[in-house]
Amino acid sequence: MTVLTRIREVAVIRRDNKFDRILFATMLALSGFGLLMIYSATRDSGTFSMERQMIFVSAGLIIYLVVSNIDYREYQGIIPMISVVTLLLLLAVFVFDSVNNVSRWIPLGTFNLQPAEFAKVVVIVVLASHLAPSSRDEIGPRTISWQKVLQAVGIVAIPAALVYMQPDLGTTLVFGFILFSMLFVSGATWRQLVSLLAALVLGVAAVLRLGLLSEYQFDRLRVLFNSSIDPQGIGYQLRQSRNAIGSGQLFGKGLFREGTLTDFNYVPEQENDFIFTAVGEQLGLIGGLLVLAAFAVIVWRLLVISANSRDRFGALIAAGTAAMVMFHVFVNIGMTIGIMPVTGLPLPFLSQGGSFYMSMALALGIANSVWLMKTPVPGENQLM
């Protein structure tokens, strides 16, 4: 069979595979809604937050469309390269001047690159490649060895440690949740998962005992139980967030209504990590539930993609992406209503941020590639 014939055969079979239109439409709807909320939160501040975010959204959509048309299996061949580049970028942030004692960004003119956001996507791909069967001999009961589990922990531990040193506790926790979720999907036993969880608890106890958390990180935990601990900082932010969401009641006060807490910029960082407060105040409980429903649709589609993947590598990529989205949504909305500590995790597709938006678009684009490539070509080797 000639190369040209083979290409034609692949093209004919793949022609029936369509983009996941529900996934893309939901992502697009959330992105447009996010721009609306950013405008609402910043329209009186004299900034160009929405215009700037529109550029990031446009770039993210281009990334999504381009990556969707790249066979996700190609990434397995360049894993060593993307792993090294990611680690170098995570180290490079310490070379530049810190902002408020935080080193998370690489300044690129008018744009600050945050490598930790893209590192989450790289970790998902690397873990998927590591945990997926490498040969037909491994196909059988979906269990994995302790050696593979410990190697997976090592894969995550290195970038997680670098991110923790920035410091960025929230993103560090995302790495941990991705690890546990992907180990569960790949077939880790309950004994393995419980053992890792026990080790994690001991590690957290050691961190607290040795005083490895900064004072402001302790305050973020303590303020959950007593907002008066930091009345001018996190305590104030959390109190204002609750007031804004609570004032929206069932149907909200309406978009762009004068005299709202959003209108007076009473919630710090509202266009970033606390964008959900603008949703709650202006659109009420109903608006908040609709946003949650949209995220539920994205997670549902990712799980459908995982279930219909042609191999475990693709299934694990989609499952890991679903875990990442779920964790961000749960922690972000949880911290705005005061049931989770303020960790600085943004809300996917709604919060302002270039690196975060583009990394999320990249992750969903790779997952969409898994969906597009779900139909195998006759004669291709595949692992189910």
Please state, in angstroms and rounded to a whole number, the distance separating the CA atoms of residues 208 and 206.
5
Cα 276 from Cα 241, distance rounded (Å):
9
Q: Return d(Cα 264, Cα 259) in angstroms, integer.
A: 7
pLDDT (tens digit, 9 = 90+) per residue, 215-227? 666 666 666 666 6
Residue 378's contacts (CB-CB under 8 Å, 6 or more residues apart) are 9, 13
Contact 308, 374 (CB under 8 A): yes
* pLDDT for position 241: 82
Backbone angles phi, psi at 353, to 5 degrees: 155, 125
Alpha-carbon distance of 175 to 165, in angstroms, equals: 14
Specify burial of residue 325 (Cβ count, 10 A radius: 0-12, 13-18, 19+). Answer: buried
In this structure, is residue 6 part of a structural domain? no
In a 3-state reduction of DSSP, which class is residue 288? helix
1 in any annotated domain: no
User: Contact at 8 Å (CB) between 29 and 249?
Assistant: no
In a domain, 379, yes or no: no
Inside any domain, residue 378? no
10 is a domain residue:
no
pLDDT in tens, the chain (384 residues): 454 554 444 454 455 567 889 999 999 999 999 999 998 888 776 667 888 999 999 999 999 999 999 999 999 999 999 999 999 999 999 998 887 778 898 998 888 999 999 999 999 999 999 998 764 434 444 678 899 999 999 999 999 999 998 888 889 999 999 999 999 999 899 999 999 999 888 887 777 677 666 666 666 666 666 666 666 666 777 778 888 888 888 888 888 775 566 665 677 777 888 899 989 988 999 999 999 999 999 999 999 999 999 889 999 999 999 999 999 999 999 988 888 888 889 999 999 989 999 999 999 999 999 999 876 655 554 444
In SS3 terms, 360-374 reads as: HHHHHHHHHHHHHCC
Q: Which domain holds residue 297?
A: 19-372
**pLDDT recorded at residue 267:** 72
Domain membership of residue 384 (yes or no) is no
Q: Which amino acid is at 267?
A: V
């880790």: which residue's tokens?
188
* CA nearest neighbour of 116 among 68, 66, 67, 174: 174
* Whole-angstrom distance, CA of residue 384 vs CA of residue 92: 39
Percent of the chain predicted with pLDDT > 70: 80
Pairing of strands 106-108, 111-113: antiparallel
For 140-172, write each residue's pLDDT tens digit: 446 788 999 999 999 999 999 999 988 888 899
Is 9 among the domain residues?
Answer: no
pLDDT value at position 243? 82
Residue 301 near residue 23 (C-beta atoms within 8 A)? yes
Mean pLDDT of the chain: 84
Distance CA 48, CA 270 (A): 14
d(CA 84, CA 115): 12
Cα–Cα dist 99/84, whole Å: 25
Q: Which residues contact 273 (CB under 8 A, 6 or more apart)?
A: 332, 335, 342, 344, 345, 346, 347, 351
Number of structural domains the chain divides into: 1
Please indicate, yes or no, if residue 120 is contained in any of the structural domains.
yes
